[in-house]
Amino acid sequence: MTEDMSIESYLAAGGILSNPTNVPPRYRAELMKLMATFVDSELAGAAGFADIINAGPGIKERIAAARIVLEKTDNADKVLSIMGDFGADTARYASHHPWTARLDRNAGIATSRSEHDMRLAVFNYPLNGWADAVVMNLLMGRAVAVQMADFSMVSYQPLAEAFRAIAPVESHHADLAEEGLQRLLEGGDKPSIQASVDYWWPRVAASFGSAGSTRADALKAMGLRKSTNAALQTRWLGEAGAVLEGLGLKAG
C-alpha cells in the first residue's frame, strides 16, 4: 500500500475525513468558520423568530412558529456539538452572545458581517411583524435548502451527516412558511406582503456571498464547497421565484 499521500492531496481528490485527529490546520479553521456561520445563523434566526411567536394570528400559527424556533435551535446544537469535538466550549458558545441583537431595518450592510459573530448578514435585519417574518422565513428557508444540498457533501463526514439530517427539517420550515403565506394572502393585504418580499428578496439573495469570492478555489480543494456562490444563488433565484409566482407574488 502506498501511504505517502498528503492529506491535502487526499482532500483535493475528493477524500473524506471523519475525526479531528488529522485535519490540517487551515482545513480546521475553514471547517470551524463554516460551522460557526451555520450555528450563528440558526441561533440568531431562532432568537429573532422567538420574539415573533406571540404575533401569530392564531394558535396553529404560533405552534408552527414555536416549532421552527425549537428545531432551528436543535439544528444549531447538532453542529455546535461537532465544533465541541474540536475544542469549542459549547456551553459558553450558546450563551456568550446576544443572539436577538439586530441592526436597523435599513442598515446598508450588504454582505458584511458584524464584528462579533458569524451569522449571515441577512440575520442582522429585524423582522417587522408576523407577515414579514413569514416572508423572510419562506425566502431564507428556500435559500437554506439550496445551501444544505451543497453542504451535505462536505468532506468532513460528521458534518455532512448532520447537514443531511438537518436539510429536510429546514426544508419543512420553508413549507410551513409557504402554507402560512397562502393563508395570509387569502385574508388580503397583498400589497404589504409584496413589500416584505421586496425588502427581503435582495437581502436573502446577498446571503449567498459575492460572485468573486477569492476563497472559493481553496474551499473547493478542501472539499468544503462544491458549487460556486453564483451557481447556488442562481438555483435559489429560480426555485424561490417559482414559489412566489405560485402564490401570485412578484420576485423582487
Partner 1 sequence: MSRFHDLSVTDINKTIRDAVVVTLKPTNGALGEFDFTQGQYLTFRRDFDGQELRRSYSICAGKDDGILQVGIKRVDGGAFSTWANEDLAVGDTVQAMPPMGSFHTPLDPGADKQYLGFAGGSGITPVLSILKTTLAREPNSTFTLVYANKAVSTIMFREELEDLKNSYMGRFNVIHILESDAQEIDLFTGLVSQEKCAELFKGWIDIDHVDTAFICGPEPMMLGIAAALREHGLTDAQIKFELFASAQPGRASTKAASGKAASSARETTAVITLDGATQTITTSKDVSVLDAALQNAMDAPFACKAGVCSTCRCRVIEGEVEMASNHALEDYEVEKGYVLSCQSFPVTDKVVVDYDQ
Task: Please report, as ranges, the residues that interact with partner 1 according to CB under 8 A.
Answer: 1-3, 5-7, 9-10, 13-19, 21-22, 25-26, 28-30, 32-33, 36-37, 40, 83, 85-89, 92-93, 96-97, 115-118, 152-153, 157-158, 160-161, 164, 214-215, 218
Quote the least distance from Cβ 227 to partner 1, whole Å.
15
Is 102 within 8 Å of 20 (Cβ atoms)?
A: no
CA distance 213 to 52: 34
CA 18 to chain centre: 23
Task: Assign 53 to helix, strand or coil.
Answer: helix
CA distance 170 to 162: 12
Quote the least distance from Cβ 216 to partner 1, whole Å.
12
Nearer to partner 1, 31 or 240 (CB): 31
Quote the least distance from Cβ 117 to partner 1, whole Å.
7
Nearer to partner 1, 88 or 205 (CB): 88
216, amino acid identity: A
Quote the least distance from Cβ 17 to partner 1, whole Å.
6
Quote the least distance from Cβ 224 to partner 1, whole Å.
12
Quote the least distance from Cβ 229 to partner 1, whole Å.
16
Helix (H), strand (E), coil (C) string for 162-228: HHHHHHHHHHHHHHHHHHHHHHHHHCCCHHHHHHHHHHHHHHHHHCCCCCCCCCHHHHHHCCCCCCC
Nearer to partner 1, 152 or 234 (CB): 152
DSSP characters over 4-41: ---HHHHHHTT--B-SGGG--HHHHHHHHHHHHHHHHH
For 166, the grid coordinates are 438537518
Nearer to partner 1, 13 or 70 (CB): 13
Nearer to partner 1, 86 or 107 (CB): 86
Nearer to partner 1, 60 or 96 (CB): 96
Quote the least distance from Cβ 114 to partner 1, whole Å.
10
Torsion of CA 112, 210, 136, 32, to 10 degrees: -70
Nearer to partner 1, 83 or 177 (CB): 83
Q: Hey, which residues does 164 pair with through a beta bridge?
A: none
Q: Residue 180 to residues 84, 172, 209, 221, 245: CA-CA distances in angstroms?
A: 36, 12, 28, 41, 16
